[in-house]
A and B are shown apart, each in its own frame.
Chain A
């Protein structure tokens, strides 16, 4: 499993998230989007639940035991999941690294 231990800056995490999103939904769709930390997964990025599963798997594969991403998601209700944006994930990963 591809795990890392070095601490990433929020910009590095943001770029990594963008890379994962591109891998999940495809470059042709990402080119049309303006992805920012405010982008929400369901409304702005139009990702459906199985794509969010793929995205979560990429985070888990990259960070390994360092973060419990699924555990974090499971504490959210449906409204929170729908409103989840990239900035919230960046903050969570930063917290886990500190």
Chain B
């Protein structure tokens, strides 16, 4: 299991097709981990490119951290990871919260980002997005699993439920994630988004609550194109091959 040290913290990474000319870095979402890409999406992209996946702090198999969940800290982490791996310029993709990190990267470090792919990044000011953070409880997780896991088809067993519960409890009640996210609520209204010059692909689910966020970004980013894929917020899990092919075509286009 490849673990590297970035900013004095252990970070779990996976690299595929190391040595290829171009590199794609993919960022997962909140309460998720790099496995969202590992099984289907990354292997297809790795047929042409070097692919780097990593677990965000306190997620997957990366080390826990009590603070630093705002987009500036999260992009500091990614920048430092690129330095450690000696990646000068990469294509960058992000899903959900990872999409917000990718957008912030393009704003802060444009010279290090080639093309940008944003999958289902939510508007941080959306009530539903922030509601999840405000209302978390054990009952919420059980209700969520009971009612929504059919969209990903994976039923959680008792041990998995406990593991997830521990992760949510840690993130919600011990870390600064709630206050850090609250500070980002105006991100989509920020003029900085309009400064993004990279060619940008926006992938959103046709039935997703976040589709309007995609349309908003499409209007703000000059060089963007929006593709709506059948599915909801879980499109990378529901349609991994469609997402992988769209990403590969986009990153390979000259």
Interface of A toward B, CB cutoff 8 Å? 25, 29, 42-43, 46, 48-50, 52-54, 56-57, 70-71, 73-74, 76, 78-79, 81-82
Contact = CB atoms under 8 A, between A and B. Distances in A.
Contacts of B154: 42, 49, 82
B161 to A, nearest CB: 9
Given A48-B164, A49-B38, A74-B44, 12 more contacts: A42-B154, A49-B33, A49-B35, A50-B61, A53-B34, A56-B38, A71-B43, A78-B153, A78-B237, A79-B153, A81-B39, A82-B153
Contact of A53 (B35, B43, B156, B158): B35
B160 A48 contact: yes
Given A82-B153, A82-B154, A74 B40 contact: yes
B60 interface: yes
A50 B55 CA distance: 10
A56 B61 CA distance: 14
A81 B43 CA distance: 15
Given A54-B1, A74-B44, A78-B237, A48 B39 contact: no
Nearest to A71: B43
Interface of B: 1, 14, 16, 33-36, 38-40, 43-44, 55, 60-61, 152-160, 163-164, 237-238, 240
B46 to A, nearest CB: 9
B181 to A, nearest CB: 23
Contact of B157 (A43, A57, A82): A43
A85 to B, nearest CB: 15
29 contacts: A42-B154, A43-B155, A43-B157, A46-B157, A46-B159, A46-B160, A48-B160, A48-B163, A49-B33, A49-B38, A49-B39, A49-B154, A50-B33, A50-B55, A52-B39, A53-B14, A53-B33, A53-B35, A53-B38, A57-B1, A57-B14, A70-B38, A74-B40, A74-B43, A76-B39, A78-B152, A78-B153, A78-B237, A78-B240
A60 to B, nearest CB: 10
A92 B237 CA distance: 24
Contacts of A29: 159
Contacts of A53: 14, 33-35, 38, 60
B64 to A, nearest CB: 14
Contacts of B1: 54, 57
Given A73-B39, A74-B43, A79-B153, A50 B60 contact: yes
A46 B43 contact: no
Contacts of A48: 156, 160, 163-164
A70 B43 contact: yes
Contacts of A57: 1, 14
Q: Which of A46, A52, A53, A71 is the most central at the interface, judged by chain B CB atoms within 10 Å of its CB?
A: A53
